[in-house]
Structures are given as C-alpha cells and as structure tokens.
Structure 1
C-alpha cells in the first residue's frame, strides 16, 4: 500500500519526507502485522467464487 509513496519519497531526495513515509509504513505494519496469510485466504475465497 505504501509502494508508490515510498518510491516518490525516495525519488524526491527529501530526507524528511523519506523518514516520514518510512515511519508511517512501519506504524502500519506494526498495526496489521504480516498480511501475507490473510492475502492467501482472500485469494482462496476469490477463486471459490470465480468457479461458481
């Protein structure tokens, strides 16, 4: 979710912006944890519905 923002911050050369985006992304990951397992469950559910 932060991929574009991180790329833009890195390209900007603005270290303050880079640090802020980094902090925001770390805060987000701390709150949601590893979403890869939830993503796999979601993909399975999508596949089930697409078969109908």
Structure 2
C-alpha cells in the first residue's frame, strides 16, 4: 500500500513536487483535481495573506 493510500496528502508544494517526481499521471491528475477544488473553495491564499499582513501592521501601529 502506498503512502498516499494510507494518509491524505494536502496539495501543497511538497505533495505536488513529489507527485511530479513519481511520473504517476493518475496521481498527478488526482492531486490537481483536489488542489483546484480547494482553491475554488478557499480562494487566493496569497492575497488573503497580504490582507492579513496589512491588518496586523495596522493594529501594531495603534
């Protein structure tokens, strides 16, 4: 049984790079579908982080 079958893999950079390094097209497509689904649900994380940083900076100035 593969590690992917034992534990869910969150589609972040490490999981994506590991999937690509295996050359397993089925695994890569499954990971892509999961990542796209999460992105659709969560939106742009990078933009949310920038907004959070701005809010932290604003509160620290008070």
Task: Place the TM-score, normalised by the shorter chain, in its bin.
Answer: 0.7 to 0.9
> Paired residue for 2:25, among 15, 24, 29?
15
| 2: CA distance, partners of 1:41 / 1:27 | 22
Normalising by structure 2, what TM-score?
A: 0.64
Aligned to 1:43: 53
* Number of equivalences: 52
**Bigger helix share:** 1
User: Alpha-carbon deviations, 1:5-50, whole Å to 9, x = none?
Assistant: 1100000011111111111100011101122321112222444577
Question: Could you list the runs of 5+ residues in structure 1 that have no partner in the other structure?
Answer: none
**What CA RMSD, in Å, does the superposition of the two structures yield over aligned residues?**
2.1
Normalising by structure 1, what TM-score?
A: 0.73
Question: Could you list the runs of 5+ residues in structure 2 that have no partner in the other structure?
Answer: 1-10
